[in-house]
Amino acid sequence: MIHTLFWVVKYLLYLLALTWDTVSIGINFYRCMIVIESGGTKSTWVFNLPNDLRGKDSFRTIGLHPQELNSTKAETIKALVQEHQLQNQEVHFFGAGCESEEAKVKIKKFLEAFGLDVQQVQTDLHAACVAHLGQKRGMVGIIGTGAVAALFNGEKVIQQSSGLGYMLGDEGSGFDIGKRLIVQHLNHQLPSEITKEIDTYFEYRSIVHRVQESDGRMKIAGLTKIVRKYSDDPVIFKILKEAFSDFCKTALLPIQENHPIHFIGSVAYYFQEELKSTLSSMGYEMGGVEKEAVEGVFEFLNKR
């Protein structure tokens, strides 16, 4: 009797230990995933909460472009990883400038220095495709500071168009719209109210000289705030219409497939009515629009 009871107790203890190991593994699985979406100026981190299998947290910090990594950024990321206790956790990184293998390696080594387990480094365009399409075939555009479009086959980007950078292309982007506004301003083609807003924005300095400074590109793109404020003005509406028409010609026309176009990016998000109108007039259908891709990518990967 005692002998039998001994083995029963031992078996129950074994089951209890097995159950606890399974729960622990489950907790570790759910708490370990971090998805990072990064542009040139900022990055967004989304990750599971350690003590809530269904919860998640996020924060925004500096951008992690592979060509702009430095010791100051390293100190910032190190502090954030420690603050949120993210060491040894699984990371999926999606960022601007990560097209080449060399760039991917730079990001991987940078993050691994803080004890992060980097599973993949992909482009921000890949993130946009996954966020909207998952594993389906379709077309996606990014219209933010820059602009680019892609055809996705459910696994990878198989065709990319536009995205030549602000010097050579990026029609429809925040920079492109801002540049068009400046040209109209310098040619005295804007209403006086908008002219005053632009002069105030540039602190009454020489615009030609100001835009040549190191942050000139971002300063020009920042003019989209004024464009948004006066988007009902006929002159501003025409600027938007022409910019988005050129996006269709340079980014969408080369992709010879018929799909609704899904978008990621602040310009697409805040000017989606003007964008939708332009797309429709040129024979395209607009799909979903999101400001960022990171939440959609997180949800997709979290369901695997």
pLDDT tens, residue by residue, 271-302: 999 999 999 999 999 999 999 999 999 999 98
Give me the mean pLDDT over the 201-216 stretch: 91
Specify the pLDDT at position 17: 44
With a cut of 70, say whether residue 68 has pLDDT above it.
yes
pLDDT higher than threshold 60 for residue 11: no
The four Cα atoms 95, 106, 175, 134 give a dihedral, to 10 degrees, of -20
d(CA 168, CA 65): 20
DSSP codes of every residue in 235-288: HHHHHHHHHHHHHIIIIITTS-S--PEEEESHHHHHTHHHHHHHHHHTT--EEE
Q: Which two tokens stand for residue 109?
A: 């080594």
- pLDDT band for position 21 (cuts 50, 70, 90): very low
Write down the pLDDT at residue 140. Answer: 97
Whether 264 contacts 292, CB under 8 Å: yes
Residues 161-206 have pLDDT tens digits of 887 777 787 899 999 999 999 999 999 999 999 999 999 999 989 9
Q: Is the pLDDT of residue 13 over 50?
A: no
Report residue 303's pLDDT band, with 50, 70 and 90 as the boundaries. confident
Instruction: Calculate mean pLDDT across residues 11-30.
Output: 44
pLDDT in tens, 85-114: 899 999 999 998 898 999 999 999 999 999
